[in-house]
Structure 1
Amino acid sequence: MWVRINPPPPPVVLKSSTAALSQQKSEEESAASLRTAHNLIKENMLDVRWNIVFLSLTMHSLAQMHPNPRNKHCAAPELSVLNGKMQSSSSIRQKYVHNEKVFYECMEGFTPSGGNDRFAVYSCMAGKWTPKSTCQKIGAVPVNNTCSEPVVPNGSAHRQGDSVTFTCSPGFIQTGAQRFTCGADGTWTPPLPQCLPQSVDVEANTPVGDIITCKEPNNFKASDKMQIQGLKGVSRPGDLLSFSCTYGHMLNGSSNVTCGPDGKWSPSFPKCIVIKCPRFNVTNGKLNDRRMRVNIVVTVTCLAGHHLQGPRTVTCLASGRWSDIPQCMPDAKPVEKTCPGPAVDNSVSTGRAGASYRTGEALTFTCKQGFWLDGPPQVTCGPAGQWQPRLPSCLQSVEPSAQPKPPGECDAPQLNNQPTILLHDDYITQKTTVFPAGSRVRYVCELGYVPAGGSSYRQCINGQWTNLSLRCERKSCGSAGEVSNGHFLYTGAEFGDSATGVCDDGYDMVGHKTRNCMSSGVWDGRVPVCEVVHCPEPPSVSDAVMSGAFEPYTYSSVVSYRCRKGTLSGNKQLWCTKNGTWSSPPPTCKDISCPILPNVLHASRTGTLRPPYKHRDAVSFHCDWGYVLVGSTTVSCGIDGQWSPELPTCRLRVVFHWRGR
């Protein structure tokens, strides 16, 4: 607001006293006008401020009374709607913003309405989930029926799209189901509940004491392999629980249990039992695992002299049956290889004469008169059907010529009693039997041997061959390899030696256990494998809890037993032995009690005074004054149900008084 202030009048020159008074009065009026204008300005400014504050408060109140629906959030949507379930329940959140959508996949036989050919769509609108399309039966004529507003006396409805839940007023209890859906026929399914007074029987409307509820199961743990749907914390008559088992288990009992009007579940709760395949054996075969649960894979290995016919592994299926089980069939007897009768011209052999010889048979050769032996004097029939080392030859000796032999020449070289050294083939094939002076011949090591020093040549000097210094030794094969969880026992590591695999305690050999050092300087076969021994599932004990190792139960695994009630009799711990069996029979849980103790004369007792007397209960005895206790002060209730040691006795204390003279 603007206030106009008039300027003071111009000064006036006083010409008389009257004029002076008039001037003073005019000045006072001007000052009063200024004060009035100043006060008006202050008052108007204060009004403007209060108007601004009032306007702000009014707008805030209107915003609280009429909030913007777009600012309302929706709670987590239901996992399922009528004839449909959420497409991805794993990504569900606790809060959704306005116009956000969730999708439901229609069940078999139903299809989405509203033009979406894949999913039913629900949108968050003003804080509530509103269906944009629903799951309708395929081929059904779309209906536009709507359900009337659900009303339950003494209760309030909470609507979310086509579904509604109820909350009873204080002092009332709800009967029937918890959630209701608007059906295509325009009715609520199932029928709406009732809110009855807490002091009224929900079944007969007769006075009772407390609210009728069914105690929900709270002893199902993850190890029970059971899943329960429908748990609410408090279950009332008509509520339904659905039970299912995880993979590898099957339900023993009804899958649906209903809370009855008497506060009891009907039928009784089911159990999930492990699906097991029956035990099986393969004749002449060995199994690496004795477990029988679903998805267990068992490897079958045939014993020596047998071969596998069928798959090498067998799997326990979810149906409780094994996949195809193989057989171990006997190997066809190998045709024994033999060596043919040796043909060494101009020789005489010692040993059995025949057309063929078995492995290991040996022959010794000597040459007829006029011939000399080139090669080993003894050969042996090898496993491959060949003579080892190779057969010798008998070469004709040179007859002395009528002409004197030129000086310095040498006869054909001979080598006796050195089976590991042979004359090189180049000289054996030569037809000449006379070598001029200075000639040289070369020698080589037999198969499986290598030079170990010395010269491999001999030279003809002055009609004599120089001595052969060549030395041959067996080839080395080195290490036969490392056996995991085992080791090799060697006869040696050179040509002709063998190495035999041995497993550590608690492991079994798979594959051929023996390797041979070959003439090539390498070991034949492969390194065997030592697989850990498996024990069957430990036996269950009635009224006991087992702890410790889990499947698979292998060598040295330990399990312990603890009685839920009663006293444990037997070994508390079992371990898997190297033979694939448990160390001892399982213990038992016995309810052990001892008989009532008879009174001991002249004694009082402390400890466990009243029956029943359980295992480890103890009672102590104290003799009355003037008596002495004979025996043990305390007796205990033993595991055999008897008191030990024997009860004591109280004997009168005898005091001797000696009277002097």
Structure 2
Amino acid sequence: MRRLACIVSDRTTRRKFDNAQFSDCGSSLAVSNGNLTFTTTTYGSNASLECYAGYDANQTTISCLDTGSWETPTCTIKDCGSSLTVDNGKLTFTNTTYGSTASLVCNAGYDANANNVTCLVTGTWYPPLCTIKDCGSSLTVSNGVLTFTNTTYGSNASLACDTGYDANTASIGCLDTGSWETPTCTIKDCGSSLTVSNGALTFTTTTYGSNASLVCDTGYDANTATIGCLDTGSWETPTCTIKDCGSSLTVSNGALTFTTTTYGSNASLVCDTGYDANSATIGCLDTGSWETPTCTIKDCGSSLTVSDGTLTFTTTTYGSNATLVCDKGYDANAATIGCLDTGSWDTATCTITDCGTPSLTNGALAYTTTTYLSDANVTCDKGYTASDDTTKCKANGSWKTVSCDPVDCGSTLPTITNGAATLDDSAQTTYLSTASVTCESGFTPDKSSLNCKANGAWSKAICS
């Protein structure tokens, strides 16, 4: 059985070999993006595969198989990939295979080596570069110096101008255009607005190094004949100094106050209390002397009079006193009045004495006025008797004493038949005082007590 199987297998292999000897793969084989080269096309023949630039062969040779077909040839396009990046810029692409391009845009201040980079035949991108712009070191500035350590985009150059010149900026920058900002050194100008009090300046130019002539008004001295425009952009200080009257001036009975003592200045004159100044201010004259100040004592005069009184004085100037004596029944507002610092006397008045509103216990007073010599009529309440019919306002400001005294019924009580009356208060027998009534055994009183009546008599009682 084993021998038979081996014979059968051997026969099958020989049959295949015999058939392969007659297999032909043909010459019609082609490949996209490449070329095939062969000399024979029968089983066992080989064809050389060469792909076009930018394509990769799956193998360098292909064989004619025992099936009568060639192995499959392929030429695959190279792919540069999408991982490409660039410093200081950005790449944009839609395809990454051989021949494709990527758009290159650099950041501000950088130059691209190409607008587009290509996926090369090697399967790699053409190298993209963004090179920083360089503003160069050749920049100069009139009347100044530029100092820089770097000249590429974003760098700064320090600007220092010569004495008397102003820089438009402390530093200038290298711009994204590849050019420096513009530096300028402008000569300082002291301007033409300078003026001087009490004088005049004359100049033809006003820039650094120029001079102005100074001429002062009459009575003023110039500190210099000319002033210069300095490197600070300011003129030297011009001054015209005026005459000085000094600060030693004094005045009797007053004081002078001044802040300046030069020609045209004024001094305030304040006199002591009770004195009049000849002027509120005095001036420093062009002679270098002050006007004359004086302080004159105030006089209140001798024409002062007072109604209902008399004033007596010996002097009438500030600080003097006048004695005031009022007529009888009049009150002085002061024993003396003074001549005031206003130049007027204190007010002197003699006011009629007023006794004020009178009052009367157990009665009433009728009056129209309450001043000196006024009268008030007296009316007493029921059961009271007036000590006088009227009272008068006296010179001392008090009313003449008057009173309403209660009616006195006396201590002798009425006789009560079959009874007796006893004072409730042995000391009180005046109006409305009472006396208790008691009857003998077997008798009853018609009232419990007797009253002292307004007519000065006791009331009666009966014991029945």
TM class by shorter-chain length? under 0.3
Q: TM-score, normalised by structure 2?
A: 0.27
TM-score normalised per structure 1? 0.20
Higher share of residues assigned helix: 1
